[in-house]
Amino acid sequence: MQHQVLVVEDSRAFRHYLDDQLKQAGFKAIFAENLSQAKKLLAEPQRYLCAVLDYCLPDGQDGEIIDLVLSHKIKSIVLTAQFNDTIREKVLAKGVLDYLLKDSAASVAYLVPLLLRLEANLEHKALVVDDSDMVRNHVSHLLEKQNLTVYKASDGNEALQIIDDNPDISLVITDNDMPEKDGITMTREIRRDHSRNKMAVLGLSGSDDSTMTAQFLKAGANDFLYKPFNQEEFNCRIHHILNMKDTSDKLYRMANQDALTGLWNRRYFFTHNCCQTENESLNIAMIDIDFFKKVNDTYGHDGGDAVLISISKIIDAHFPESIVARFGGEEFCIQHCGHFQSFLSTLELIRQRIESITIPYLEQQISITISIGATTGLESLEKLIKQADDNLYTAKENGRNQLVS
């Protein structure tokens, strides 16, 4: 979904510049030239990711646009050509996300990364841990303004329970001095199961202990701030931490996912085990698309890619809790834990499903079938893959479009 950004700016040249920048970043800019036009736009039922507001407009020269937009509960970033401490305090007190000077291209260039961060934050969850209701609510409010989904805890034990229930939390912001369990101890326990790249930790403390930063970082925190902190610095730290996490996640996907289908690749498959215990049998299936060379020869490689993508989606949808990988070419492998007969039943459903459908490509319909070899056991992953591959070979020798186990 393309997010909309409301831009209220009286300079035509600057509007053109922002329109170009926002389009390149994937946003749809909705423009108003003055306060009056903005009122008309805000009367319409539109949803905006954020608003970018010129502080001084022809019909509102003292920041009136800020109050108007905030009254519609739209997050706002303020642009201004002139800035001083009085205006700065006034703008921040209104509850805007940030302010940017229009005095240089470098300053304005900060706008697009900020908007991209707000967009990406819609997929992130944060946990605020502090025994002070006032501090906990204040920090939570700052994060919610940044589009983060926020959980709250009053001590380390409660926080660890929330993390167990919500392992997809991206960021933990924790005070140190708390009853039950302090922030440094909690950070050490988080690091037993969650790396810095998977779950970031920002430590906070009102202590005058000069070693607090080092203590938190050595315990596994990604960053640290003394309280009371500057709101702008807090926001910058949060953005930096989440930018680093998103970059790490992207690199991880590039290293472990197949670029075409989005499935895991061989590297990931051989370094992960879906079974919880060593005594649990592992189910393996090897899947091969029948006569795939003929598909490429007939419809071209783009047609072949369309088939690979469609088959991948079907397999992945039937095994959402398993490890499904593209091994290369037209070959897929599934690593599954559970009852073997149930595993075989699902594989047969996939075979029948693929046999019964046609895959649209341009103005044509492509029909294909698959052959499957499956096995189960307590042997090593490599031996089980060899067994499944032997069964796949048998399925092909017996005429294809069948499951052999």
List the pLDDT tens digit at each of the 405 positions of the chain.
799 999 999 999 999 999 999 999 999 999 999 999 999 999 999 999 999 999 989 999 989 999 999 999 999 999 888 777 888 888 888 889 998 888 777 777 889 999 999 999 999 999 999 999 999 999 999 999 999 999 999 999 999 999 999 999 999 999 999 988 999 999 999 999 999 999 999 999 999 899 999 999 999 999 999 999 988 899 999 999 999 999 999 999 999 999 999 999 999 999 988 877 777 899 999 999 999 999 999 999 999 999 999 999 999 999 999 999 999 899 999 999 989 999 999 999 999 999 999 999 999 999 999 999 999 999 999 999 999 999 999 999 999 999 999
Cα(302)–Cα(340) distance, rounded to whole angstroms?
Answer: 36
pLDDT of residue 101: 86
pLDDT of residue 76: 95
Q: Do domains 4-119 and 266-398 have the same CATH topology?
A: no
pTM: 0.81
CATH homologous superfamily of 123-246 = Response regulator (3.40.50.2300)
Cα(182)–Cα(188) distance, rounded to whole angstroms?
Answer: 10
* Both structure tokens of 177: 């001095």
End-to-end Cα, the chain, rounded Å? 43
pLDDT of residue 179: 87
pLDDT in tens, 110-168: 899 999 999 999 999 999 999 999 999 999 999 999 999 999 999 999 999 999 999 99
Given 3.30.420.40, 3.40.50.2300, 3.30.830.10, 1.20.1260.10, which CATH number is that of 4-119? 3.40.50.2300
* Both structure tokens of 320: 């959402």
Domain boundaries, the chain: 4-119, 123-246, 266-398
Cα(290)–Cα(295) distance, rounded to whole angstroms?
Answer: 9
CATH homologous superfamily of 266-398 = Reverse transcriptase/Diguanylate cyclase domain (3.30.70.270)
* Closest to 287 measured CA to CA, from 314, 258, 260, 321: 314
